[in-house]
Amino acid sequence: MSKSLKYAVFGAGSWATAIVKMLSENLDDIGWYMRSAYTKEHLLREQHNPNYLSSVEFHLEQLKLSNNINEMADWADVLIFVIPSAFIQTELDKLTIDISSKTIVSAVKGIVPETGLLVGEHFNEHYNVPFENIAIIAGPCHAEEVALERLSYLTISCWDSKKAQHIANSLSSDYINTKISDDVIGIEYGVMLKNIYAIAAGIAHGLGYGDNFQSILMSNAIREMKRYIKKVHKMKRNINNSAYLGDLLVTGYSTFSRNRMFGNMIGKGYTVKSAQMEMSMVAEGFYATKSAYFINEKNEKKADTPIIDAVYAILYDNKNPKKVFKKLTEKLD
């Protein structure tokens, strides 16, 4: 991949804003697509996102802002999608140009609900993007800590190691440490599943469980993740690497975690709808829970997933969180 390749970010939430900040450390020109004309105009006037990470000020001469997804997709060579999985297809439906020759990077943490596919699989199947042109960004890395320039770690996964390294180099800085991987499918599943486990951690906290139980929950969660990913994509991987375990831990424990926050509200008695209305950001784990549950149900030999099953029962079957977690505690070790 050439150093002169043009990068564009699609989305205007906190994670998208953080990725633009990372790219701005290395690139002179960064494309940024956002649906909201108000957000674009505010950025041009005030040099920061009005809704997310507003402390981050951008140098406008580095940014090419647009509300036209086709203009941005046509301009860039590397398209980084950071739109919540529940809404990404609505934006992709606006595309009229062919993106099959572009490099697609997914920083989306979930499954496309319309197709039941991972984001990378969705681009391959519905937009004819070759798998070697698809990359995944994984943490552990919270947008809020990127804004504060606290040391954070990213893993870039792509079957083409040169592409992975180029993307990693474009994101790395004094406060962003990057590595590459070829476990594209496993890491993308891990990115999705960790949000479900973070909701479980939040529910437990909201119900009044302490640190001792949280440690048991997280140790069971990484083993459950390993079983699940092995069923859907068997290959040699170390589940204790930062892209899996590290990302799980920060999402399950951090006060910045929107999925933990969402779960905490559920544990305290909020309904799903009221918890969603209370939050200004999307809890990807809510949508991921349904997708992960049904993918596992369809497997001929299901993985043993008591935590996912418990979260699904609470969020989608309206089961009582206290009763569900009481049963869950008897299944963990």
Q: Give just the sign of the alpha carbon dihedral 283, 288, 289, 290.
A: positive
pLDDT tens digit sequence for 128-184: 999 999 999 999 999 999 999 999 999 999 999 999 999 999 999 999 999 999 999
Look at strands 117-118 and 111-112 and give their pairing: antiparallel
Alpha-carbon distances, residue 103 vs 7, 63, 100, 297 (angstroms): 9, 20, 8, 32
List the catalytic residue out of 40, 102, 163, 194. 194
196 and 171 assigned to the same domain: no
Q: Is 319 tagged catalytic?
A: no
Binding annotation: 87, 109, 143, 258-259
Binding annotation for substrate: 109, 258-259
Residue 72 belongs to domain with CATH number: 3.40.50.720
Output Rg (C-alpha) for the chain, integer angstroms: 19
Binding annotation for NAD(+): 87, 143, 258
CA–CA distance, 185 with 142 (Å, rounded to integer): 22
pLDDT tens digit sequence for 181-231: 999 999 999 999 999 999 999 999 999 999 999 999 999 999 999 999 999
53 phi/psi in degrees, rounded to 5: 45, 50
DSSP letter (8 states) at residue 166: H
Give the chain's domain count: 2
Q: Per the domain annotation, does 2 fall within a domain?
A: no
What tokens does 152 get?
């954070």
Can you give the residue range of the structural domain that contains 273?
186-330
200 and 277 assigned to the same domain: yes
94 and 52 assigned to the same domain: yes
pLDDT tens digit sequence for 76-106: 999 999 999 989 999 999 999 999 999 999 9
